[in-house]
Structure 1
Amino acid sequence: MKPSPEIETLIDMMSKLPGLGPRSARRAVLHLIKKRAVLLTPLAEAMRAVGETARECLNCGNIGTGDICEICAAEKRATGEICVVEDVADLWAMERAGVFGGRYHVLGGTLSALDAVGPEDLRIPRLLDRIASESVREVILALNATVDGQTTAHYIAEQVPDGVSVTSLAQGVPIGGELDYLDDGTIGAALKARKTF
């Protein structure tokens, strides 16, 4: 016996989420149905609320509930530093760490010749406008250490006007990491980014 069409639709929709295939989606839906009052109904209400209120910040590309996100609106975050990230998830990870007090800029991806993604397909022109209009002193490139991420970082660094410092996150051995478990690229990056002890 197959589930009802409504449940099948929900399973199909859930299976489109990252990390969930058809089997995982089926298990998740069954769990939600069993915990209907505690999980399913509140989840549906939360999803409806987010669907109605969530929007991209017109300034940086973060996700919030207003046209300008809380980070861009906070005057204390106007430090003259902009941290450039690939995706909103990267911005949220940086915020979770609580180590950066400036503003962000979400590119919405990386440059990719294979996928025909150029600078105008990303928020690079908006970044350059912000550098000029917000008296930016430093651009911190916090892009992933992939070929496309590094290509994007080099492109942005070339576009940043003189007088604005361009830095990138250090790359290398993570805290608690053991050399034996690291890949060659990470070990090489760690050696190049070494500092005085």
Structure 2
Amino acid sequence: MPRAVAGPEIERLIQLLARLPGLGPRSARRAALHLIKKRETLMQPLAAAFDDALGKIVTCRVCGNIDVRDPCTVCTDAEREVGTLIVVADVSDLWALERAGTIRAKYHVLGGVLSPLDGIGPDDLNLSGLVQRVHQDEVREVILALGATVDAQTTAHYITDLLRGRDVAVTRLAHGVPVGGELDYLDEGTLSAAMRARTPL
């Protein structure tokens, strides 16, 4: 086991940074060193921002988005299409679609996708909330923006069956989303094309 080259506080910082997506041990060390070198201009403002966010960030009880208000900014936006509901697996997918700026609709965050291998079943996702919103909010179209992985497509088919017989059109993203691709890693142009070319299920 390699010996620690810094004090326990710095080692803890490195270990915590290494838990972030996309950061391994080496990247975490570089990030920690950069933060330490820029203590006054970067580390202190970042620590203050974390502290501020920790006390204010909430999960929207309507759609599942993360914001500093509940209901969130998206849900309270009066200019959005109330008859269209975009279903996403995670908040990162919601943010990706918002960056693309293709459609101004409401969202519903499932909190994941069905994955029997990982033990994630229908009861682990926000599916009951989706059915309730479709019924109560008079939704005319549900857009399944769930990516092209096997688990995502399984989830899309499950939701389609769940909404069958209701007076709502169920569509999904089409061209532009590669098989096995995740929405959060796609550029805005690809997401825009996929949203425009959505197809019925």
User: TM-score of the superposition, structure 2-length normalised?
Assistant: 0.83
The residue identity in structure 2 corresponding to 1:133 is Q
1:169 aligns with 2:173: yes
Q: Hey, what's the Cα distance between the residues in 1 that align with 2:124 and 2:16?
A: 28
Does the CA contact (< 8 Å) of 1:112 and 1:118 recur in 2? yes
Larger Cα-atom Rg: 1
User: What residue ranges of structure 1 are gaps of 5+ in the alignment?
Assistant: 175-189
1:107 aligns with 2:119: no
**2:94 aligns to what?**
91
User: TM-score of the superposition, structure 1-length normalised?
Assistant: 0.85
Cα distance, 1:75 vs structure 2: 2.1
The residue identity in structure 1 corresponding to 2:15 is D
The secondary structure found in structure 1 opposite 2:117 is coil
Q: Hey, what's the Cα distance between the residues in 2 that align with 1:28 and 1:114?
A: 34
**1:123 aligns to what?**
126
Q: Hey, which bits of structure 1, 4+ residues long, moved more than 6 A? A: none
Q: Hey, what's the Cα distance between the residues in 2 that align with 1:45 and 1:9?
A: 18
State, as a whole percentage, how many aligned pairs show the same letter.
Answer: 55
Q: 1:124 to 1:49 in 2, by over 3 A?
A: same
User: What residue ranges of structure 2 are gaps of 5+ in the alignment?
Assistant: 179-193
1:34 aligns with 2:37: yes
- Name the count of aligned residue pairs: 177
Q: Hey, what's the Cα distance between the residues in 2 that align with 1:88 and 1:8?
A: 30
**1:186 aligns to what?**
none
The secondary structure found in structure 2 opposite 1:71 is coil
Q: Hey, what's the Cα distance between the residues in 1 that align with 2:59 and 2:36?
A: 32
Q: Whose relative contact order is higher, 1 or 2, with alpha carbons under 8 Å and at least 6 apart?
A: 2
Q: Hey, what's the Cα distance between the residues in 1 that align with 2:85 and 2:63?
A: 10
Cα distance, 1:115 vs structure 2: 1.4
**2:14 aligns to what?**
11
Cα distance, 1:173 vs structure 2: 7.4
